[in-house]
Structure 1
Amino acid sequence: MSYLQSRERPPPYTPQKSSSFLFPRRTSSNPPPPADYPAGYTPGGFFAAKYANKDAKRNRSLSLRSKKGNTTSGDAPPRKFGFSSMRASTQPELSKKLYRLIKSENHVINNYTNAGREQISIASQLSDWGLATNDDAISDISDKIGVMLSELGELEISYSQNLEDFRAVMKSIRNVEASVQPSRDKRNKITDEIQRLKYKEPQSPKLVQLEQELVRAEAENLVAEAQLSNVTRQKLKEAYASHFAAVVERSQKQEILAKHSRRILALLDDTPVVPGDTRPAYDLEREARQILADAEDDLRNWTLELEEVPTNASLDAGAMPTISNIGGSAATSPVLNGTGPLSVEEQEAKQEVVA
């Protein structure tokens, strides 16, 4: 018997020697002292803080706007400086947000275009792979599926072109916003100058001249704001009506192609065989070709059926209501019934009467 075998070893689960002189054991009579955690710290580390039982949050809010008025997510990556950001900084304050929206939409359009081209490339690769398998059934089915995938890629490119039309309509709103900003700045500048003179030189003869200029600036701004309101409502409705019509067209045509593609897949016999057996000869080329013809006929006969988005917009070249569109509101319009600023002269006369 060896020395190790002759040594007395403790049986399993024998309590080992206590180390109470280093780490005293905690008992119910010796509870741990309360931890003095700093404010905001959750015991258990990062994961305990992250996955602690908190009030359940909704996956989606009823609005994308934050209650604090900040629409940018806190986890969003910082903006990178470039030519696009530099051009955005030179835009008038009124049109900056729409300028960024239109710029972002351009990236979306490019991505859809690139996705369509990649889809067409994948369709060609699928057809080439099927031919290399030396299997008549797989070669024919993969070729027909490649045709369907290619059509799906063309749909993406067509959808991106429709989005470009939507983007062009949004640009018209941005252009009007940019044209209204100078009139706002001019009015605010004159107002600030009047307030400064009233504080420093109440008897300055320049006050009368500035007040007349303010009347003209307010009249110009009144027209500009009306144009902006009219164009914004009309073009926003027009732009997104075409946008969602393009979405419906894309989805319905995708549905047609997907359903016929599944019919093609049904022609492929996937019955397993044992080694040594041979599969029956593939003789469904005509049926597969007919499915392609059916898909082509369905796309050719497809029509867009949507409820019209109602519109009352009828603007002239100056973004103002036409005569036929004014009749019903003439009695209540402050501009048309003589109570509004019909002309600069009337505004000046009114200003003198008030003074």
Structure 2
Amino acid sequence: MASLRGMQQPELSKKLFKMIKSENHTIGAYESASRERISIASQLSDWGEATGDDAISDISDKLGVLLSELGEQEDVFAQNLEDYRSILKQIRNTESSVQPSRDHKAKISDEIQKLKYKEPQSTKLVTLEQELVRAEAQNLVAEAQLTNITRQKLKEAYDIHFAAVIERAEKQILLARHGRRILNLLDDTPVVPGDTRPAFEHAHQARQVLHDAEEDLREWTPSLEPVPSSATDLGTNLMPTSPQSVEQQVETGSPVQQRITGSEKGVSNAGQLASTDSRDVSGSSTAVQPEPSTSYQQQ
């Protein structure tokens, strides 16, 4: 059915339709990676407990918590990609609505050329030429709407996309650094047969690392270079109303910055990191009007 829809897409929107469909597969891969990472984190914790080594058991449990949170961040990233993808759909829908206008203008133009060749004195030529003038006027509006929405939404979509990439990367780095702190609590000094390892004395420090990681995630805020937009004066008919300077846009910030200002970007909904004694680490408007964009926001 999906391939049939692709075949039925207007020529103008086929390429973007294909790209949006491919992006959906990519989002699914990130969601799958999230589930697998959380599952592996749980398996690591279970294995550590089964070793009978108190140090390995505690360290693997804490590492499992951090790895599980890394998995949750993959899911957050996938949700943000879906937001970006939904904005690209607005360009695709506008392209689809403009194609009939182009086709209608081309059809009338072809009819005029054929009639001039076969019946150059035909009175129908006047009627067709009048229709062509109207078709060209309608197409002119549609093309202006298309270029307006394409530039605005392309900028907005990839603003969200790259902001999500930065968030994911910075939080992964944050969690990985705390994971390395936990590794430093494990004594790997070799022992000879018959020797007994000393009791693990760093359980409190390990819990503190998780607490620090939780605090760092909660306090994380984006530091993004502004991506100003001059499209705030775009009316509901996709045509400009009153202009706004780029300087004003820099002051107010990009759409992504406006959406994330004041929002809490802490730990994921999977739960807190700190307490882990249990082993659970789980004009004439011709083109289609765009849908409201989805907020760039952790779900």
TM-score range, shorter chain: 0.7 to 0.9
| Separation in structure 2 between the aligned mates of residue 198 and residue 235 of structure 1, nearest angstrom | 42
Task: Give 1:312 shift.
Answer: 1.1
Task: Give 1:325 shift.
Answer: 5.3
1:81-230 matched pairs, under 5 angstroms: 83-230=1-148
Is the 8 Å Cα contact of residues 230 and 243 (structure 2) preserved in structure 1?
no
| Separation in structure 1 between the aligned mates of residue 174 and residue 219 of structure 2, nearest angstrom | 11
Higher mean displacement: 286-295 or 306-315: 306-315
Q: List per-residue Cα deviations over 1:226-278 (Å, max 9, x = no partner).
A: 00000000000000011000000000000000000000000000000000000
Is the 8 Å Cα contact of residues 38 and 72 (structure 2) preserved in structure 1?
yes
Higher mean displacement: 241-250 or 307-316: 307-316
| Separation in structure 1 between the aligned mates of residue 178 and residue 13 of structure 2, nearest angstrom | 46
Q: List per-residue Cα deviations over 1:182-219 (Å, max 9, x = no partner).
A: 00000000000000000001111110000000000000
Match of 2:179 in 1: 261
1:263-342 matched pairs, under 5 angstroms: 263-313=181-231, 314-324=233-243
Which runs of 4 or more aligned residues in structure 1 lie more than 6 Å from their structure 2 counterparts after TM superposition?
none
Give the number of the structure whose alpha-carbon radius of gyration is greater.
Answer: 1
Match of 2:154 in 1: 236
Task: Give 1:323 shift.
Answer: 3.0
Q: List per-residue Cα deviations over 1:77-127 (Å, max 9, x = no partner).
A: xxxxxx322211100000000000000000000000000010000000000
5+ unaligned residues in a row in structure 2: which ranges? 246-282, 285-299
| Separation in structure 1 between the aligned mates of residue 182 and residue 66 of structure 2, nearest angstrom | 10
Aligned residues between the structures = 246
Is the 8 Å Cα contact of residues 38 and 67 (structure 2) preserved in structure 1?
yes
| Separation in structure 2 between the aligned mates of residue 214 and residue 288 of structure 1, nearest angstrom | 76
Match of 1:252 in 2: 170
Task: Give 1:283 shift.
Answer: 1.6
For the aligned residue pairs, the C-alpha RMSD in angstroms reads 1.3
5+ unaligned residues in a row in structure 1: which ranges? 1-82, 327-341, 344-355
Which of structures 1 and 2 has the larger relative contact order (alpha carbons within 8 angstroms, sep 6+)? Answer: 2
TM-score (norm 1): 0.68
SS, match of residue 187 in structure 2: coil
Is the 8 Å Cα contact of residues 35 and 71 (structure 2) preserved in structure 1?
yes
| Separation in structure 2 between the aligned mates of residue 128 and residue 318 of structure 1, nearest angstrom | 59
| Separation in structure 1 between the aligned mates of residue 122 and residue 16 of structure 2, nearest angstrom | 42
Task: Give 1:324 shift.
Answer: 3.8
SS, match of residue 323 in structure 1: coil
SS, match of residue 304 in structure 1: coil
| Separation in structure 1 between the aligned mates of residue 174 and residue 5 of structure 2, nearest angstrom | 43
| Separation in structure 1 between the aligned mates of residue 133 and residue 79 of structure 2, nearest angstrom | 46
The percentage of counterpart residues that share the same residue type is 69
Q: Report the residue type matching 1:132 in the other structure.
A: A
Higher helix fraction (1 or 2): 2
| Separation in structure 2 between the aligned mates of residue 277 and residue 220 of structure 1, nearest angstrom | 88
SS, match of residue 319 in structure 1: coil
